[in-house]
Amino acid sequence: MRRLGILIGAAVAVLALISVVVFVRFDVNSYRPRIQSEIEQRLGRKITLGKLQLKLIPPRFRVENLSISEDPAFGRHSPFLKADSVNLSVKLLPLLGNKVEIGAIDLQRPSVEVVKNAKGVWNFSSLVEGRHAPPSGSATGVRIDGNLTLHDGQVAVTSLLRRESRKVYDHIDMTLRDLSAGKPFSIDAVARISSQGGQKISLQGKAGPLSEIAANRTPFDGTLGLKRVALDGLRNFLDAPVFARTDGIISGETKINTENGKLTAVGSAILENVRVNGLDVGYPIAAHYNLARDPVANVITIVSSTIELGAAPVFVSGSVNLQPTPAELDLKVVSEGASVGEITRLASALRIAFVPGTTVTGQMDSDLQIRGPVNNPTLNGQVSARDLQIVGKDIPQAVQITSIDLAITPKEIRSNNFEITSGNTKASARFGLARYTTKSPAIDFALRSVNANLPEILAMARAYDVRGVGGINGSGTLNFDIHASGPVQSVRASEIMKVLNGHATMNFNDMSIAGLDVAQELASIAGLKKPAPDTGGTDMKHLTGRVVVTNGVAQTNDLRAILSVGNIAAAGTANLVSHALHLRATAVLSKEASREAGSGSIAGVLLPVLANSRGELVIPGIITGTFENPKFEPDMDQLSLMRLKGMVPTSDNPFGVLGTLFGHGKKDDTKPPSQSPAKGLEKFFGKFPGGKKR
């Protein structure tokens, strides 16, 4: 037994010595032309091999600077594939017989340029199209069968057909097993998006044999997987604006089968931790789908699909025609008893409707046909919602809609007459949107209420993100009848305001406006001591007036407010779109506030202030700026007119010359002005300061 061990050891030593001698004297580069010729025959492309080295453990040829040329029909000078280092696994015994049997090809950090030309043909198609190479090794003595592996590869894709920019996909590992001409092979590919959380895209399955007609007709049966891939990482990987302004984690699995170029895909995916425009949607979005694609017609058929927005399922079927640009849709979308809350949260995040932070509950049914280009389709069908309730941090009083029905045609979207309720306030409403597929849709909107309570009207306005009402609180009633009709750019409140018309009469009590201290502003423009402590805002005991709205501009000639420091009358305009103010006002301080602010003996000397016969200080002013940032300045023209006419207002009638200008004191104080306040003022004493007098 001992002798047998010695003999075996001696044999191994002799073989090792022979291997070392062969390795030292072996000229591996003498095989380079034959290996190069064999690969060129099999690919139908010119290739370049750099220096070869023989490595024994494991037995392999190490190749430097491999490159495969581009298809000449594409007229590009850059290679189709290049790699700095390639390992060719070889068998030793055939090598001693001057034959090369390559069992595996391993490319380290290769880069591949994939191009689709203007005719829709890929540059890799010619690698297999019409190639009838002789059996491997028949002419060159080099046989290639086995596995092809790419480690940490980079693939760049350019589509000249759609004139898309070059996209680079990085960090790709791929193994093709049992790769042999005319036979099926397996594929196992992984693209690692990020090392954090194991994010990766994977593809496993069986492919081949390679089609000699077209590469995209090669059969494939396998699975595409996404494992907790962050959308921002996916965008970077694809170098494309996928789910723009959306963040989240996507996972899923899709079974893919291709036969004669026709593809079917059945699977599901879920998007978690969804944030749109920086806002948390608050629920996962899941999709289950069964798709098919016809490569000849270039049409994707949605056999069936379900999109779940949290607990709100939406069923979609139909087709997407990819032949035209943009793609054409022909879809049917159905939902029954879907939760409105999930849909409106997504709409708020997309800034389509409702202020972010608003909570909407209710149920919705829909039956829609969607046809036309993907960027501007037409709709046909109906949508119904019921038991809607809207609340939020700025909407303490819930806004409710019992039911609303939308009739949708390719020409217009129109609602029924529905009722909006908040507390004891009810408003009747309707709306329509014509030409909604054009750049100039036309709105038709109406809203009417009698004796509406101020807090509840504010809740309705805040529910629809009407700006300029923040920080306003109080009680009282409002009668209004408004409508909007005309072309708009969207259905946002700011756009509807541009075509808003109607009138409103207000009678408010105990109002407060945060952030605007009227007493401080009056004292500042008059150069007086502030007549009341700083409260950080303005409290009004009473506010009355009538407002007429014409194309988004509100006009008044009888606005009157009672403050703790005195009475204020105002006339002028407020632009509901830009929030620009253009008002003339007269403030009559109470006797107590007048004594606190300063002596009546200074009135009319140097400061823009007068004193009436009751000892009340009168401060005329001009209010400009915006709702959010009003600006006060002395009204020297009004001051001069008071002196000229001897008409100094009192707390009982603070309008003074404003009352003369705008007809205050007539029997019908609520009659709309016959002309705009700005024109009335201009007619009486010229344009506002800075303009020319007529």
Reply yes or no on whether the pLDDT at 36 is more than 50.
yes
489 inside domain: no
Query: Quick check: 504 pLDDT over 70?
Result: yes
> Looking at this protein, which amino acid is placed at residue 607?
L
pLDDT for 7 = 57
Domain end among 133, 151, 181: 181
Residues 265-271, mean pLDDT to the nearest whole number: 94
Q: What is the C-alpha end-to-end distance of the chain, expressed in Å? A: 129
Does residue 264 surpass a pLDDT of 90? yes
Exposed, middle or buried, 367 (CB in 10 Å: 0-12/13-18/19+)? middle
Q: How confident is the model at residue 624 (pLDDT cuts 50, 70, 90)?
A: very high
Q: What is the residue type of 362? A: G
Percent of the chain at pLDDT above 90? Answer: 27
- CA–CA distances in Å: residue 441 to residues 35, 39, 325, 495, 530: 68, 62, 23, 11, 51
pLDDT confidence of residue 317: 95
Q: What is the largest CA-CA distance in the chain?
A: 139
Q: What is the pLDDT of residues 538-552, one digit of tens each?
A: 888 999 999 999 999
Identify whether 17 is part of a domain.
Answer: no
CB of 615 within 8 A of CB of 592?
A: no
- Residue range 661-672: mean pLDDT, rounded: 42
Instruction: Please choose, from the candidates 224, 184, 220, 176, the residue with its C-alpha nearest in 3D space to the C-alpha of residue 204.
Output: 224
- For residue 130, pLDDT beyond 70: no
SS3 for 122-142 is ECCHHHCCCCCCCCCCCCCCE
pLDDT grade, residue 93 (50/70/90)?
confident
- Domain total of the chain: 2
CB atoms within 10 A of CB 275: 15
Half-sphere exposure (CA, 13 Å, Cβ side) for 349?
Answer: 20
Which pLDDT score, from 0 to 100, does residue 397 have? Answer: 75
Residue 530 pLDDT class (50, 70, 90 cuts)? low
| pLDDT at residue number 203 | 92
pLDDT in tens, 447-492: 999 998 888 888 777 766 666 566 788 888 999 999 999 998 887 7
Instruction: Say if 263 falls within a structural domain.
Output: no
528-531: long-range pairs with CB below 8 Å, 24+: 528/597, 528/598, 528/607, 528/609, 528/617, 529/596, 529/597, 529/598, 530/597, 531/565, 531/566, 531/589, 531/593, 531/594, 531/596, 531/597
Going by pLDDT thresholds of 50, 70 and 90, the confidence category of residue 51 is confident
pTM above 0.85, yes or no: no
Q: Is residue 119 a part of any domain in this protein? A: yes
Pairing state of beta strands 111-116 and 142-159? parallel
Question: What is the residue-averaged pLDDT of the chain?
Answer: 79
pLDDT of amino acid 287: 92
Position 197 scores a pLDDT of 63
Name the range with the highest mean pLDDT among 1-15, 235-249, 476-490. Answer: 476-490
Per-residue pLDDT at 686: 34
Give yes or no for residue 40 having a pLDDT over 50.
Answer: yes
Q: Which domain holds residue 672?
A: 515-685
Min mean pLDDT across 127-136, 663-672, 680-689 is at 680-689
Q: How confident is the model at residue 234 (pLDDT cuts 50, 70, 90)?
A: confident
Indicate if the pLDDT at residue 651 is higher than 50. Answer: yes
pLDDT in tens, 142-186: 777 778 889 989 888 887 876 767 777 888 899 988 877 678 889
147 belongs to a structural domain: yes
User: Which is more confident, 455 or 316?
Assistant: 316
Which residue has better confidence, 70 or 183? 70
Q: How far apart are CA 43 and CA 45, in angstroms?
A: 5
What is residue 690's predicted lDDT score, i.e. its pLDDT? 33
74-83 pLDDT, tens digit each:
877 789 999 9
Helix orientation angle between 677-685 and 636-645, rounded to the nearest 10 degrees? 60
Higher confidence at residue 127 or residue 428? 428
User: What would the pLDDT profile of 580-615 be if each residue is shown by its tens digit?
Assistant: 999 999 999 988 888 877 644 444 445 788 888 888
What per-residue confidence (pLDDT) applies to 419? 95
Structural domain contains residue 455: no
- For residue 327, the tally of other CB atoms under 10 A from its CB is 15
**What confidence score (pLDDT) does residue 346 get?**
62
- Can you give the pLDDT at residue 508? 92
Q: Of 125, 152, 181, which residue is a domain's last?
A: 181
Q: What would the mean pLDDT of 389-404 be, rounded to a whole number?
A: 81
Give domain status of residue 140, yes or no. Answer: yes
pLDDT tens profile 321-372: 988 888 899 999 999 888 887 776 666 555 555 555 677 888 889 999 999 9
Tell me how crowded residue 486 is: count the other CB atoms within 10 A of its CB: 14
- Distance (Å, whole) CA 376 – CA 437: 6
Which 8-state DSSP code applies to residue 80?
S
Per the domain annotation, does 507 fall within a domain?
no
SS3 content of the chain, % helix, strand, coil (to 5): 20, 50, 30
Q: What per-residue confidence (pLDDT) applies to 10?
A: 55
Q: 197-222, pLDDT tens digit by residue? A: 678 889 999 987 766 555 667 789 99
> Which comes out higher in pLDDT, residue 382 or 495?
382
The confidence score (pLDDT) of residue 694 equals 34
The region of weakest confidence among 271-275, 377-381, 416-420 is 271-275
Does residue 567 surpass a pLDDT of 90?
yes
Residue 242: predicted pLDDT: 53
pLDDT at 516: 78
Domain's final residue, options 181, 214, 247: 181
